[in-house]
Amino acid sequence: AIINSTITPNMTFTKTSQKFGQWADSRANTVYGLGFSSEHHLSKIAIAIINAFTKFGKKLVLFKS
C-alpha cells in the first residue's frame, strides 16, 4: 500500500503500542497508522518518519510492505 501524506514540520509520529504508530494529517483531516511485526521494525521506521517530519515541509510518500 502507498500512503500519500503531506507533512509539515510540526507533525508528530506517536508510538501507540509496541507494534503500531500513527500521525495525523490535519490538512486531509486523516489519521494514518502503520503496524509492524516487531517493535524493532517500528522503532527503525519511527526514526525515519520523525526525521522526515523534521526536514521536509512538502509531500512525502511512505511505503508499507
Residue 9 pLDDT: 65
Residue 12 pLDDT: 74
Mean pLDDT by 10 residues, the chain (65 residues): 73 85 84 91 83 65 46
Residue 63 pLDDT: 46
Residue 35 pLDDT: 93
pTM (predicted TM-score): 0.64
Alpha carbon 43 to its chain's center: 11
The arrangement of secondary structure in 2-56, i.e. its CATH architecture, is Roll (2.30)
Give domain limits for the chain: 2-56
CA distance 38 to 36: 6
